Structure 1
């Protein structure tokens, strides 16, 4: 059983420099190639590739592995199917030396295009890519750029937003000031990064399928989700209308006004959506975990507490009958009610889950 240390020469440097017919097999034959190729073209990366193949062969033999070194070369440029010549050479070597595996040594990224040919005939135990030290930065940059351009997902994620941004720059500079154009460009790139980084593209991609399944299954969540979306839109508009007259108000105060006005609508939207999921599970007679049962109460509690804090920031009091409560007292009431709603929701969810488990056991 022999391991082949295969030096790939796709650009036919060996054939052109020496006139030999590949494959070239054996330690002495390959070592003489180093001199021949080096004298013909001292700058050729094939010289380093040959030396690395000899080193790997020596190390394998020293470790007790029966290894043989060979150089395979593609057909001369202009010939028909030059890579086919490499396949024939590998078949010849396999038949002559009873090869079981190979370690491939490459000198350029172009040589690596022959790897599928090798892998289809022999087990590849390793790929040793030789990069000349003086050209490491340039070669590595070229290799990474080539790999990047070959990855379709990376191209669409990075190059498409960048291309759109570059196309928009002239239009933005034509209609707006450089500062506005730069801000718009940064916002577009930031949106693209967040869109991909947060995985929003995956949710958007699944949205048609999920919507189709919900419509065909006749679930209650279809209605509740649409209702929740409508409540969310109303809440955002309500908050925006509340902030519109406050053009000179500081940003923190404007944010408090927006949340105070929109929080009831957004809270009802969350409760509606959570209730729809809960009703679907009840209709399907599925097991109801405590977290799902207590979710509507939790969302309602968060909305009540948010309303209390925004009211406190806006110094809004509360009148209960003939009693007027100061903003700090109003905040305490809202926080207390929110905590109470959350506790009641968790308690009811736990009791309902226990009752359901007992009925299923019986």
Structure 2
């Protein structure tokens, strides 16, 4: 076959809105898919993408060339997940039809981001971008912007920082401390950008899905997750309260000491929370009778978590004793020896965890 026309739907509107499984192969199947998607959402741009692909298909067919058309869809989680699904479908189509080249049809730059994936597998004969024509009057522009901002991917990125900044400014203005508002806004927006940039929103989303799955399947991990959340809350409150006591005290100790105060008074609560999560996973594995290679590493995690907590606690105590003069039983006066002993004990605990994990693996 000479040409394969590929219509790209990177965020899987075909599946989410029309319930159509991809890849959709053949002109008739794509016409039907376009009709189904158009009825589900007449304003979806992927409707025009597939229609544009059908037009390209008809042009090649009228020239007497052997051509086929297929629409491939990714995943609402645009990125590695969606691109992996599209790559798998493209491999299937190339194996099935063995085309000499492909023509890629998309509705914008986001879908065309997968071009390197396609080019690594087959020669790309051309790229056709299908854009919907809009009238240029003010009403149409307003409507277009309204539709754009209804997209969750855009609205979450655009509106949350602005709303957060306005909320912080109004709160500080109400409290009569407008001078702190700018600093607070910059800090909040900075944290939000780091949160999105480091992909922590995906981590929280996956944690939420895991939490819901544990609840629906009646797993012990659901209870341990709830307990861990409570312990994290206690840890944060405990550390913040002590942090505030030192911050508002008569003596200024410096930011490093304040951070060490937070760590020292909260670390064991965080350790307990992490161990609770891990124990829930271990109990579920035993109750289900399931075993896989990765599950055996869970047995060593509590030891590593405890050892890490011991190092953080002893290091923070050492800094507080030597910098702030805080009195700790058994530590004051011999903080260096205690720090060294804690480090050695942490290493021993970690080794015990490795040994137990190996025995569990050997006895499976």
In the other structure, the counterpart of 2:354 is 346
- Relative distance call for 1:337 and 1:184 in structure 2 (3 A) is same
Provide the C-alpha distance between the structure 2 equivalents of 1:219 and 1:269, rounded to a whole number of angstroms: 17
In the other structure, the counterpart of 1:271 is 275
Consecutive unaligned residues in structure 1, runs of 5 or more: 4-85, 110-123, 130-144, 357-362
If you compute each CA radius of gyration, which structure gives the higher value, 1 or 2?
1
Cα deviation, residue 150, structure 1: 8.9
- Relative distance call for 1:169 and 1:287 in structure 2 (3 A) is closer
Alignment of 1:193 onto 2:193:
yes
Provide the C-alpha distance between the structure 2 equivalents of 1:173 and 1:198, rounded to a whole number of angstroms: 29
Matching residue within 276, 280, 297 for 1:291 = 297
- Relative distance call for 1:296 and 1:193 in structure 2 (3 A) is same
3-state SS of paired residue (1:126) = strand
Alignment of 1:221 onto 2:221:
yes
Consecutive unaligned residues in structure 2, runs of 5 or more: 4-51, 68-101, 109-123, 130-143, 322-326
Provide the C-alpha distance between the structure 2 equivalents of 1:254 and 1:272, rounded to a whole number of angstroms: 28
Provide the C-alpha distance between the structure 1 equivalents of 2:313 and 2:63, rounded to a whole number of angstroms: 81
In the other structure, the counterpart of 2:99 is none
In the other structure, the counterpart of 2:157 is 158
Provide the C-alpha distance between the structure 1 equivalents of 2:205 and 2:158, rounded to a whole number of angstroms: 20
Q: How large is the Cα RMSD of the aligned pairs?
A: 4.2
Cα deviation, residue 296, structure 1: 0.5
Structure 2 contact 271–305 (Cα < 8 Å) conserved: yes
Q: Deviations over 1:257-303 (max 9, x none)?
A: 11111112221221222111112112222226442110000000111
In the other structure, the counterpart of 2:255 is 251
- Relative distance call for 1:98 and 1:221 in structure 2 (3 A) is closer
Q: Deviations over 1:106-162 (max 9, x none)?
A: xxx9xxxxxxxxxxxxxx942589xxxxxxxxxxxxxxx99x959935522432235
The farther-off stretch of 248-257 and 309-318 is: 309-318
In the other structure, the counterpart of 1:180 is 180
The farther-off stretch of 282-291 and 255-264 is: 282-291
Mapping for residues 76-95 of structure 1, pairs under 5 Å:
none
Alignment of 1:311 onto 2:317:
yes
Q: Deviations over 1:15-42 (max 9, x none)?
A: xxxxxxxxxxxxxxxxxxxxxxxxxxxx
Structure 1 contact 253–314 (Cα < 8 Å) conserved: yes
Q: Deviations over 1:142-196 (max 9, x none)?
A: xxx99x9599355224322354257558746854666533223323432332332
Structure 2 contact 169–185 (Cα < 8 Å) conserved: no
The farther-off stretch of 191-200 and 261-270 is: 191-200
Q: TM-score, normalised by structure 2?
A: 0.53
Structure 2 contact 168–181 (Cα < 8 Å) conserved: yes
Structure 2 contact 168–185 (Cα < 8 Å) conserved: yes
